[in-house]
A = this chain, B = another copy of it.
Amino acid sequence: MVNERMHGLGAEPSAIRELFAYGMARKAEIGDENVFDFSIGNPSVPAPDAVKDAALALLEQPAVSLHGYSPASGVPEVRATIADSICRRFGIEASPENIYMTVGAAASIAISVSAVTEPGDEVIVISPYFPEYKVWIETAGCTCVEVPAHVPDFQPDIDALAAAIGPKTSAVIINTPNNPVGAVYSRASLEALADLLSTKEAELGRELYLISDEPYREIVYDGIEVPYVPNVYARTLVCYSYSKSLSLPGERIGYIYVSDRMDNAAQVVAAVAGAGRALGYICAPVLFQRVIAACVDEPSDVASYAANRALLTEGLAALGYEFVEPQGAFYLWVRALEDDAQTFSDRAKAHELLLVPSDSFGVGGWVRVSYCIARDTIERSMPAFKALMEEYRG
């Protein structure tokens, strides 16, 4: 006997991870250049030189203090640097005490959900949504309530959210810029959401938290505005990660910022620390805590992703594919050529195209195409996309 839920989660990896693993095996079989792997969000842009420079400099420091434990919430100077950066960039009086360093965005969200819910509560996600949200919500003993985004702009559907919020609702998770559709929530959308949450708080007599998952904050196109969520809704926990902005997904480094504008911020900060402890986190990896402090205002290389986006969207449009024009992140949400996304993904595989079916994101009929890959792969994949289209359209 082992834990049944854990066994299920381990034996059936996420659709993304499964396709990624298939891709690795397939590349070993027929050669890297013959597989068009659009499965995972592993940045193709290298970490900036500043990351390497900072790491090399840090490694010259005395090893005992360099590699020793940090407080559970993080190295004090690192938290101060991040708080200062938030303050400068977003005009909010961020306190270092409200920053809790984490082992990446996944840890940030798992900890945040466990901190602000009780078992039996409901947490709302906006579909399509990153599938692991549901896993972490269920770890907290809560129910994942899926509310479809407004179509065709994939902004939050305020009426649908109003209908879904009830006496068991504790939190809403949003992700803007969005994985998988690439939508960036407008200021108007966020303000409408904030109004709704405030109204419902008063109506229900309970706190409603907004958990804002923001690893793609810096990756946006055409100069679009990404409003800072704590400036729009006070009861916000920002879950940030440097995985995408600094191309460090494997180093697992990010933070939770509990908005200073929240009336019960100190209580939430304590619950976050407790949840981190309960889930087995001691502190975030200390070398990379210090690396990101040194690189806190390093710009992300958006130009590469913008070029990929143009190449992919122009190519697929010319072939007759339908998709959502992404405003941010590095995923293209493409309409499957048949209702069953899994079958479509399987048929794409026969052309060596690895496209993640939309079902695990909470909706049918689409695939997610990650374009944080080598430009050359996108170029060379076009004949395969063409053949796939011809197979369907004859």
Prevailing SS type, chain A contact patch: helix
Interface flag for A249 (CB, 8 Å): yes
Are the C-beta atoms of A279 and B280 separated by less than 8 Å? yes
A7-B274, A11-B270, A275-B10 are contacts. A17–B250 as well, Cβ < 8 Å?
A: no
CB distance from A268 to the nearest CB of B (A): 6
Contact assessment for B9 and A274 in the assembled complex, using a CB-CB cutoff below 8 Å: yes
Contacts of A21 in B (CB 8 A): 71
- Is the Cβ of A271 less than 8 Å from the Cβ of B7? yes
Of B68, B104, B253, which one neighbours A42 at CB under 8 angstroms?
Answer: B68
Q: Is A117 an interface residue (CB 8 A)?
A: yes
Distance of A110 Cα from B135 Cα, bound (Å):
17
How many chain A residues touch B (Cβ–Cβ < 8 Å)?
Answer: 88
Interface status of A384 (Cβ within 8 A of chain B): no
Q: Smallest distance from the beta carbon of A11 to chain B beta carbons, Å? A: 4
**Nearest opposing residue in chain B for A1, CB measure:** B207
Is the CB of A127 closer than 8 A to any CB of chain B?
no
Q: Mark A55-66, 1 if CB is under 8 A from B, else 0.
A: 110010011101
Q: Given A42-B69, A67-B47, A282-B104: A3 and B247 within 8 A (CB)?
A: no
Indicate whether A355 reaches chain B with its CB closer than 8 angstroms.
no
Chain B residue contacts of A114, Cβ below 8 A: 3, 6
Q: Is the CB of B278 within 8 A of A68?
A: no
Cβ of A34 < 8 Å from any Cβ of B?
no
Which one of B70, B251, B276 lies within 8 Å of A67 (CB-CB)?
Answer: B251
Evaluate contact between B250 and A68: CB separation under 8 angstroms.
Answer: yes
Please report the C-alpha to C-alpha distance between residue A346 and residue B179 in the assembled complex, in whole angstroms. 52
Residues of A participating in the B interface, judged by any CB pair closer than 8 Å: 1-11, 13-14, 17, 21, 40, 42-47, 51-52, 55-56, 59, 62-64, 66-72, 103-104, 106-107, 109-111, 114-118, 132, 135-136, 138-140, 170, 206-207, 247-253, 264, 267-288
Minimum-distance CB pairs A-B, first 6: A110-B280, A10-B274, A9-B274, A250-B286, A10-B273, A6-B274
